[in-house]
Structure 1
Amino acid sequence: MIKPVSPALASTAKAPTPALQKAAQGFEAVFLREMIGSMRKAKLTEDDLFGSSATDNFRELADANLADSMSGLGQFGIAKMVEAQMAKFGVKP
């Protein structure tokens, strides 16, 4: 049987530390990179006429930068959920 968390214990949950926030944001960025990479692999359009490995490398770098920027905005909420879950259990990065 799972016992409900008492309000006293819920209020003693530690606030996320800056290191925990940074780790959670990093996790969100990795998640977004994978999502963007999967979208690229779907290739809903025809192959590039001028495609090359250099173009692919540039796109990967641009996608990583985009994912980092997107996670910094906090619009997806993944980092906040990870922070809350880790802070709830007192996990430190």
Structure 2
Amino acid sequence: MQVNGTNAAGATATGTGTSQKAALGKVAQQFEAVFLRQMIGAMRSASLAEGIGDSSATQQFRDMADARTADAMASKGAMGIAELLLKQFGDRVSDAPAADAATGATSA
């Protein structure tokens, strides 16, 4: 989500010509990925038994695979969370390039 040229992670929007709506779409997709990672992690922690080959290495690789799965699901819009965020916040941002909006916000 863009607020005064800064996204939700606190980084200033880079890339000239990127509209605020495009930046909002990217951040909404990233939010959906984080949500899916948390959901997949919660499902993994709910397992009732540990496997024979479980170790810290297999756990680390499983976590990396889960993160990639969550990113892939978010990029396809599997859950629709990003779409809902765009519907909710899309009217609050303009189509002006993010860099110009950040300059205007700091000079105003």
Instruction: Normalising by structure 2, report the TM-score.
Output: 0.65
Identity, % of aligned positions: 47
Moved over 4 A (4+): none
Structure number with greater CO (CA < 8 Å, separation at least 6) is 1
Structure 1 unaligned runs (5+)?
1-14
| CA deviation vs aligned residue, 1:4-23 (integer Å, no higher than 9, x gap) | xxxxxxxxxxx972211110
2:20 & 2:93 partners in 1: Cα distance?
9
Partner of 1:83: 86
Instruction: Normalising by structure 1, report the TM-score.
Output: 0.75
| CA deviation vs aligned residue, 1:37-79 (integer Å, no higher than 9, x gap) | 00000004x3110110000000110000000000011121100
AA partner of residue 80 (structure 1): E
Contact preservation (8 Å) 1:16, 1:84: no
| Cα distance change on mapping 1:16 and 1:85 into 2, 3 Å | farther
Partner of 1:5: none
1:16 & 1:43 partners in 2: Cα distance?
41
Structure 2 unaligned runs (5+)?
1-18, 99-108
2:28 & 2:87 partners in 1: Cα distance?
10
Q: How does 1:36-55 map to 2 (within 5 A)?
A: 36-44=40-48, 46-55=49-58
Answering whether residue 61 of structure 2 is matched by residue 73 of structure 1, we say no
Q: Rg larger in 1 or in 2?
A: 1
**RMSD (CA atoms):** 2.0
Between Structure 1 and Structure 2, how many residues are aligned? Answer: 77
